[in-house]
A = this chain, B = another copy of it.
Amino acid sequence: MNFSSKLLEDAVAEFAKLPGVGQKTALRLVLHLLNQEKEDVEQFSRTISKLRNEIRFCEVCHNISDQVVCEICASHKRDKSTICVVEDTRDVMAVENTNQYNGVYHVLGGLISPMDGIGPSDLEIDTLVERLNNDEVKEIIFALSATMEGDTTIFYLNKRIKHFNITISTIARGIAFGGELEYVDEITLGRSIATRVPYENSLRK
């Protein structure tokens, strides 16, 4: 694209670095900002800069937090003996939204992915093992994506922690609620037959 201004070109280049944003979308966003009040754009710019510079992570679970220890880890109502291991803060939000979980979390900050150069040392794995050493943890639940990376991470984590005397579980995989059988992919359907559960168990709340 031929831009009529260097400032415009720079701004479009910055926006185009964001995931899922191409040159055309970037230009649309930049022109939108140009139409806003100076004050509002300044606010936008300041908020982003502040976010990156002042963000903190909970000392215990490594979720994004404004305090040293996040609300969930600090709460007396949460069951500290169950830890749900998730990839990032979005997954914490997703699990919280179900209102089905009363334990605490451990945010890995990613998944093991040799293709992207992400190894175990890049993730909060040592800190998880430390938590198991110190705390009175009874159960670990892996709530990771059902992808190659998720499975690799679970495999590795399981090896690291299986010597502890705790229950290790993963969230159930199978057909989604409301899902019609004919539209379910073969792998999911096949696995959900192989890992079938007693009917009584499927009624558990």
Contact = CB atoms under 8 A, between A and B. Distances in A.
Interface string A1-39: 111111110110010011111000101111111101010
Given A20-B25, A25-B20, A32-B19, A93 B3 contact: yes
A135 interface: no
Contacts of A45: 45-46, 48-49, 52
Contacts of A21: 29
The winner among A55, A58, A63, A96 for most chain B CB atoms within 10 A is A55
A158 interface: no
For this chain, the copies found in one complex come to 2
A18 B14 contact: no
A59 interface: no
A182 interface: no
A130 to B, nearest CB: 21
A88 B44 contact: no
A57 to B, nearest CB: 9
A90 B27 contact: yes
A53 interface: yes
B42 A4 contact: no
Given A10-B47, A45-B48, A4 B55 contact: no
Contacts of A38: 52-53
A4 B70 contact: yes
Contacts of A44: 14, 17, 48
A117 to B, nearest CB: 13
A199 to B, nearest CB: 35
Interface in A151-192: none
A48 B33 contact: yes
Interface of A: 1-8, 10-11, 14, 17-21, 25, 27-34, 36, 38, 41-56, 58, 63-66, 70-72, 88-90, 92-93, 96-97
Pairs of residues from A and B, 7 with the lowest C-beta to C-beta distance, nearest first: A45-B49, A41-B52, A11-B51, A45-B45, A45-B48, A5-B64, A14-B47
